[in-house]
Structure 1
Amino acid sequence: MNSFKLLVLGVFVLVLSSCSSVRVAADYDKDANFDSYNTFAFFKPGIDKAEINDIDKKRILRAIEAELTAKGFAKSENPNMLVSIFTKTKENVNIYNNNLGYGGWYGWGWQPFYWGTGYNTVSSTTEGTLYIDFIDADRKELVWQGMGSAALVTSNNIERKEERIKEIVKEIIERYPPGSFKN
């Protein structure tokens, strides 16, 4: 029975640790002058296409606005940078197969005869990817894109969900401007 408890604890720790990490990447136009961007506005046509509910869109946009403001940007009616988002989600189903029991060597090779209990543990998580696009407002060209993938909070815990969104947005925007992120 101790092996079972240890296995359950190991799976629990694995699930918790996977929920806390955000995988982040960024790409950019190497010819863009990132020092020239100091004002922003949200690009409504792009944001309207994001396939998430309006409440989560508001949460993401508030988090982006807070992070850009902290970096010295000002929200403006006449911006030099537009901000857009889009999202993707996928369901991950994990099956952990553990056959506890006994087997043995009989004659030539392994004989897969097991006695005892075997069990499968099935878990599923929803992984979301958030893309944040910075677009040169004059040229209407993408100059920077940040991407973050993480396990999403799907429970009814609103505070936890908001904190998770803030964490994902913060880790993405830490990569802006190019060259500013230190590993």
Structure 2
Amino acid sequence: MKNTFLLLFAFVALVGCQTVRVSQDYTIGTDFNQYKTYAYFKKGVDEAKISELDKKRILRAIDSEMGARGFTKSENPDVLVSIFTDTKERVDVYNNFGWGFGWGWGGWGGFGFNGPFNNNVNRTTEGVLYIDLIDAKDKELIWQGVGTASLKSSPEEKVERTNEMVREILMQFPPKPKR
């Protein structure tokens, strides 16, 4: 029982520390081992509604991560990489209230409500990054990774967050076969 509690506590602590939430989708039955080279899908990259500086940050991070996975850029690629970005507002509401127990005069105890009600609202703008991998020959989407994280403001923080998002998204590629 004690070990189960510690394991659950460690899991909750790790999930709570995760700053990038990621997911993936892909075409079942695709042999991802056949893909070794990539290039950018120019139309997709050009249509991303972000600044040129942010596009460059994302593309540099993708180049780094694809290289780390053994992919090389090519004029005649196996896959095309496209990106899409979005923003959304995340609203977290925290209700602070609780129950308490205390000792009173002459040994009389009390059980009651600890107040007052405190509702805290936290609004955060989050960026959403989609990375699409398209089979260059068939022109079909074969894999999509999505990452969501709060946005940063300084250029240094933006580079760090972009690298983190791309790394976390592409950690899912290629998809691991289900056992």
**TM interval, short-chain normalised:** 0.7 to 0.9
Offset at 1:27?
1.1
Runs of 4+ that moved beyond 6 A = 116-119
**Structure 1's 159 and 18: CA in aligned 2 closer, same or farther, altered over 3 A?**
farther
Deviations 1:108-163 (A, max 9, x none): xxxxxxxx98766443211111110000001000011111111111xx42111111
Gaps of 5+ in 2: 1-14, 98-114
Deviations 1:76-124 (A, max 9, x none): 111111000101111234455668xxxxxxxxxxxxxxxx987664432
Distance 2:177 2:63 in 1: 19
Of 153, 166, 170, the residue aligned with 1:173 is: 170
Q: Which moved more, 1:89-98 or 1:46-55?
A: 89-98
Offset at 1:75?
0.5
Please name the residue that 1:109 is paired with. Answer: none
Of 140, 143, 157, the residue aligned with 1:160 is: 157
Please name the residue that 2:44 is paired with. Answer: 46
Supply the AA of the counterpart residue of 1:128: G
> Is 1:28 matched with 2:23?
no
Query: Helix, strand or coil: the match of 1:87?
Result: strand
Distance 2:155 2:47 in 1: 24
Query: Helix, strand or coil: the match of 1:48?
Result: helix
* Kept in 2: contact 1:19–1:152 (CA 8 A): no
Q: Percent identity?
A: 54
Distance 1:98 1:34 in 2: 49
Number of residue-to-residue matches in the alignment: 152
Please name the residue that 2:124 is paired with. Answer: 125
Supply the AA of the counterpart residue of 2:52: D
Please name the residue that 1:76 is paired with. Answer: 74
Give TM-score, length-normalised by structure 1.
Answer: 0.72
Q: How does 1:62-101 map to 2 (within 5 A)?
A: 62-94=60-92, 96=94
Offset at 1:36?
1.0
Distance 1:166 1:45 in 2: 23
Distance 2:164 2:77 in 1: 26
Supply the AA of the counterpart residue of 2:161: R
Distance 1:164 1:90 in 2: 16
Offset at 1:31?
2.4
Distance 1:180 1:52 in 2: 34
Please name the residue that 1:59 is paired with. Answer: 57
